[in-house]
């Protein structure tokens, strides 16, 4: 039975609701793990994780993104046979590569750990997470197919199922293994991810079997592979640059803990202290920073096939319409999130993690991280336009500058310098993607919403600071209610000011950033 395609905005909303549920579940799980394992245990988790993204990236070959774009274009042309061929070729290649590389990773795990891990206690966690690679790779291919036909309900349901199972397994395994030491508890947290991903994959396979399109008489897997040379070429044209970016990202992520530890060591900090500081940055500050971005991430997921379909149909106005929707949403979500994360940085880290010392790192990153809420949609737009090469080189340049900045600033100013270095990379990557789009198709922007949001952010920050002082000092409210009350008050001021200026509906001045 064929699956009916959802509208762009309906699919985005479906993914956003699922992503919100998943963020809440993941956030609760993260708080539990952070409080039980502490900064040191979180540091071990962050050190053990980067090898797996590298394996997954190589096995996927950028296929999920390529699948969603090519499937969407094939559906516009009503080429159902090609849709199935895309899926079969992708699954065959992914299964072979993922099983091969995962086996090699397991056999060479001790040698890999001796090179990548600055703290050898992270070895067990790295070993526990390695089997996840083929599961995630196959799941990603199936999700790419469902994105391509713009059927987001199945993806949303699989994600919610995955996070629900994961939080249950994390709670159980960490509690069970903690008496044996923090290294084994960290490994248990990693094993929970493997179990939840396996359940999610099973759901995706069943969904395709039950609701996917039936094969035509005489249509076989082997037949698709024999005639799949051109399909593989088309997939690789998009997938290889995406893979290149993923490989660079994974290699950098694998060496980032070592880079940070080395730069911090030059300031005289011990390995144990460096691990704790890295844990505060990666395990405390970043989850709070990424929390509000679930909507823009969901929009980005739907953007690749939507932009690809519009471009294939030569509907330039629709391409720009989708682009403006993405940028406006990034603006409306990112602005208040940035104010909250900056203004309440120390209270939030104290309230959530019991670690107010992590607040300084959050406060440093929050203003620069504002551009991150635009980066995912910009990246998706470039992929939808078929400019995967641009996204690759933009990432290479920004990552190179980030690595240099981390080492230079970290060796001089410690963890604060490392934080500034990471922020510089975020800013540069977003700007490079922005300029790539403007040079390709131009970007039409309405100025008034940005001015209105800027004024609203200022009013929000002022009212938030005043209300927190009033509730905590004058009224004597508890710390929890002072934080919650002041954030709610500031959000009301933000949205009231924004609606009062009626920025989006009354925008009249438009500029074109030419090619």
* Same domain (yes/no): 482, 416: no
Query: What DSSP assignment string belongs to 366-422?
Result: HHHHTTHHHHHHHHHHHHHTT-HHHHHHHHHHHHHHHHHHHHHHHHHHTHHHHHHHH
More confident residue, 371 or 57: 371
Q: What is the pLDDT of residue 343?
A: 92
Task: With cut-offs at 50, 70 and 90, classify the pLDDT of residue 8.
Answer: low
216 and 273 assigned to the same domain: no
Least confident of 165-174, 315-324, 379-388, 398-407: 315-324
Is residue 326 domain-shared with residue 344, that is, in the same domain?
A: yes
Q: Please give the pLDDT value at position 508.
A: 45
Mean pLDDT of the chain: 81
What's the CA gap between 413 and 420, in Å, rounded? 10
Over residues 11-17, the mean pLDDT reads 75
pLDDT of residue 507: 44
Tell whether 383 and 460 lie within a shared domain.
Answer: no
* Tokens of residue 200, six digits: 């999610």
Q: Take residue 53 and report the two structure tokens written for it.
A: 């993204």
Does residue 420 lie in a domain region?
Answer: yes
What span, in angstroms and rounded, lies between the C-alpha atoms of 428 and 401? 8
Residue 348 pLDDT: 92
Question: From CA 468, how far away is CA 466, in angstroms rounded?
Answer: 6
CA dist 504 and 515 (Å) reads 25
In this structure, the answer to whether residues 213 and 332 fall within a common structural domain is no
Of 226, 241, 256, the last residue of a domain is: 241
Domain stops at, among 390, 422, 445: 445
Q: Domain boundary residue among 193, 226, 241?
A: 241
| 284 and 396 co-located in one domain | yes
- Helix or strand (DSSP H, E) at 513: strand 510-513
Could you tell me if 420 and 463 lie in one domain? no
Q: Among 225-234, 443-452, 468-477, 501-510, where is mean pLDDT lowest?
A: 501-510
Dmax (CA) of the chain: 78
Is 21 a domain residue? yes
- Judge whether 491 and 450 are in contact, CB under 8 Å: no
187-192 contacts: CB < 8 A, separation 24 or more? Answer: 187/124, 187/125, 187/127, 187/128, 188/128, 189/33, 189/37, 189/45, 189/125, 190/45, 190/48, 190/49, 190/125, 190/126, 190/128, 190/129, 191/128, 191/129, 192/166
Is the domain of 91 the same as that of 66?
yes
The structure's pTM equals 0.70
Q: Does residue 250 form part of some domain?
A: no
Give the three-state DSSP class for 469: helix
The beta strand positions in 128-276, using DSSP E, are: none
Total structural domains in the chain? Answer: 3
DSSP string, 185-241: HHHHHHHHHHHHHHHHHHHHHHHHHHHSPPPPTT--HHHHHHT-HHHHHHHHHHHHH
- Domain-located, residue 80: yes
Tell me, yes or no, whether 37 lies in a domain: yes
Share of the chain above pLDDT 90, in %: 17
Query: Tokens standing for 283?
Result: 């395990």
For residues 9 and 21, the model is more confident at 21
Identify whether residues 365 and 428 lie together within a single domain. yes
In a domain, 109, yes or no: yes
Please state, in angstroms and rounded to a whole number, the distance separating the CA atoms of residues 248 and 270: 28
* Domain ranges, residue 464: 447-512
Examine residue 177 and state whether it is found in any structural domain, yes or no.
yes
- The rounded distance, in Å, linking the Cα atoms of 66 and 54 is 18
3-state helix vs strand vs coil in the chain, percent to 5? 85, 0, 10
Same domain for 167 and 131? yes
Please report which confidence band the pLDDT of residue 220 belongs to, taking 50, 70 and 90 as the band edges.
low
Q: Are 95 and 271 in contact (CB under 8 A)?
A: no
Q: What is the pLDDT of residue 216?
A: 66
Span 199-206, mean pLDDT? Answer: 92
Please list the residues that pair with 445 across neighbouring strands. Answer: 511
pLDDT band for position 6 (50/70/90)? low
Same domain? For 161 and 219 the reply is: yes
In a domain, 262, yes or no: no
Say if residue 38 is in the same domain as residue 79. Answer: yes
Rounded to an integer, the average pLDDT of 320-334 is 82
């Amino acid at each position: 039975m064929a699956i009916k395609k959802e509208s762009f905005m309906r699919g985005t909303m479906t993914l956003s609701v699922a992503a919100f549920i998943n963020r809440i579940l993941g956030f609760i799980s993260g708080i539990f793990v952070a409080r039980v394992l502490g900064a040191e245990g979180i540091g071990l988790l962050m050190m053990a994780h980067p090898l797996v993204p590298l394996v997954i990236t190589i096995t996927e070959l950028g296929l999920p993104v390529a699948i969603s774009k090519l499937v969407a274009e094939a559906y516009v042309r009503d080429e159902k046979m090609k849709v199935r061929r895309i899926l079969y070729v992708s699954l065959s290649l992914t299964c072979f590569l993922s099983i091969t590389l995962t086996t090699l990773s397991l056999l060479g795990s001790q040698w890999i750990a001796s090179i990548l891990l600055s703290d050898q206690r992270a070895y067990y966690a790295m070993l526990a997470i390695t089997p996840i690679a083929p599961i995630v790779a196959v799941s990603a291919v199936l999700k790419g197919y469902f994105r391509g036909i713009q059927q987001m309900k199945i993806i949303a349901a699989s994600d919610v199922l995955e996070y629900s199972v994961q939080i249950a397994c994390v709670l159980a395994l960490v509690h069970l293994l903690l008496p044996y030491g923090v290294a084994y508890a960290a490994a248990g947290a990693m094993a929970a991810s493997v179990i939840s991903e396996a359940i999610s994959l099973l759901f995706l396979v069943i969904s395709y079997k039950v609701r996917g399109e039936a094969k035509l008489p005489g249509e076989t897997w082997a037949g698709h592979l024999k005639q799949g040379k051109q399909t593989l070429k088309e997939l690789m044209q998009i997938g290889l640059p995406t893979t290149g970016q993923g490989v660079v990202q994974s290699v950098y992520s694998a060496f980032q803990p070592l880079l940070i530890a080395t730069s911090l060591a030059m300031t005289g900090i011990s390995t144990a202290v460096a691990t704790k500081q890295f844990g505060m940055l990666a395990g405390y500050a970043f989850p709070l920073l990424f929390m509000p971005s679930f909507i823009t991430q969901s929009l980005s997921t739907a953007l690749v096939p939507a932009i690809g379909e519009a471009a294939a149909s030569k509907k330039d106005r629709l391409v720009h319409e989708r682009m403006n929707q993405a940028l406006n949403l990034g603006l409306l979500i990112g602005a208040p999130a940035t104010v909250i994360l900056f203004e309440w940085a120390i209270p939030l880290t104290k309230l959530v993690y019991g670690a107010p010392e992590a607040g300084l790192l959050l406060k440093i990153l929050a203003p620069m991280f504002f551009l991150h809420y635009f980066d995912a949609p910009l990246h998706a737009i470039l992929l939808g336009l078929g400019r995967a090469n641009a996204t690759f080189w933009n990432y290479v340049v920004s990552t190179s500058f980030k690595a240099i900045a981390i080492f230079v600033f970290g060796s001089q100013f410690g963890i604060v310098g490392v934080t500034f270095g990471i922020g510089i990379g975020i800013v540069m990557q977003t700007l490079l993607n922005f300029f790539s789009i403007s040079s390709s198709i131009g970007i039409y922007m309405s100025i008034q919403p940005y001015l209105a949001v800027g004024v609203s952010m200022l009013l929000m920050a002022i009212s938030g600071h005043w209300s927190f002082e009033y509730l905590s000092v004058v009224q004597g409210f508890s710390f929890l209610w002072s934080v919650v009350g002041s954030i709610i008050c500031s959000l009301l001021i933000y949205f009231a000011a924004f609606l009062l200026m009626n920025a989006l509906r009354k925008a009249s001045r438009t500029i074109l950033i030419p090619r």
